[in-house]
Amino acid sequence: MIEVKNLSKRFPQANKPDKSARRDVRESEGWFNAVRNVSFHCAPGEVLGLLGPNGAGKTTTLRLLATALTPDSGTASINGIDIIDQPMLARRQIGFLSGTTGLYGRLTARENVEYFGRLHGMAAPQLKRRCDELFDQLQIHDFSHKRTDELSTGMKQKCSIARAVVHEPRVIILDEPTTGLDVMAAKVLLDFMASSKRAGIPLIFSTHHLHEVEKLCDRVCVINGGASVFDGTTAAFRQQGGGDIFDAFVDVINRTNQSNERSAA
């Protein structure tokens, strides 16, 4: 179970804001409030799609949840473990794919995954079984012997997924996992995510591809201007646009943009 309540994170602004420029509602007294008030939950066996325009705060939210950043306020827990009070314990529960591959170019695909498995303390027989299982699932046996700096974008992303989940995490967090992939590579990753759902693993992923949300997601959280502006079932979200998920997204973003503009005025 993943539970997030009123999460926030701010960063100091390097330069003074241009007073003549259009003011972002998240700017305040030399600070940029990247995440202001985000709440959502994801139960076992559910997939939650994290949506929002570029710069909305999705990646920062996922990095907070994955313990790569520490929140300034709010709470978040992974299977009852508080990520602020017990970040190391929470981290063992999480499989996190960031926006970058995080692979060592001079190692082969197999060596990369095995290396991260050993970092998680996996014994050799367990690690071999898990690697074989993941390489079957993600269809990466054919290039497992190649150095990762020689791999295509899709191959690297598959390897990165294997690296992120080699330790059999109890929750999975993916930041735009299919961006830049061709149709066949994206299908392999979506099938992997569907199999994790069937296994009862809570899974959160950010995306700009709304067809992925329709295909996989039980729940949707929309972030705009650093705050969650919708949190509910996919069916309820679709109704925001009269039954069309694309229209729902546009309508929610437009309404909150108008509200933010009035607040910043």
Strands (DSSP E) along 124-178, which ranges? 171-175
Give the residue extent of every domain in the chain. Answer: 2-264
pTM of the model: 0.90
One-letter amino acid for residue 169 of the chain: P
Q: Strand 2-12 vs strand 73-78: parallel, antiparallel, or unpaired?
A: antiparallel
Tens of pLDDT along the chain (265 residues) come to 999 999 999 999 877 656 655 667 788 878 899 999 999 999 999 999 999 999 999 999 999 999 999 999 999 999 999 999 999 999 999 999 987 767 999 999 999 999 999 999 999 999 999 999 999 999 999 999 999 999 998 899 999 999 999 999 999 999 999 988 889 989 999 999 999 999 999 999 999 999 999 999 999 999 999 999 999 999 999 999 889 999 999 999 999 888 766 665 5
Q: Strand 31-42 vs strand 2-12: parallel, antiparallel, or unpaired?
A: antiparallel
One-letter amino acid for residue 170 of the chain: R
CATH of domain 2-264: 3.40.50.300
Nearest to residue 213, comparing CAs of 69, 46, 19? 46
Would you give the DSSP letter of residue 22? P
**Burial bucket for residue 55 (CB in 10 Å: 0-12, 13-18, 19+):** middle
Nearest to residue 140, comparing CAs of 184, 102, 93, 104? 184
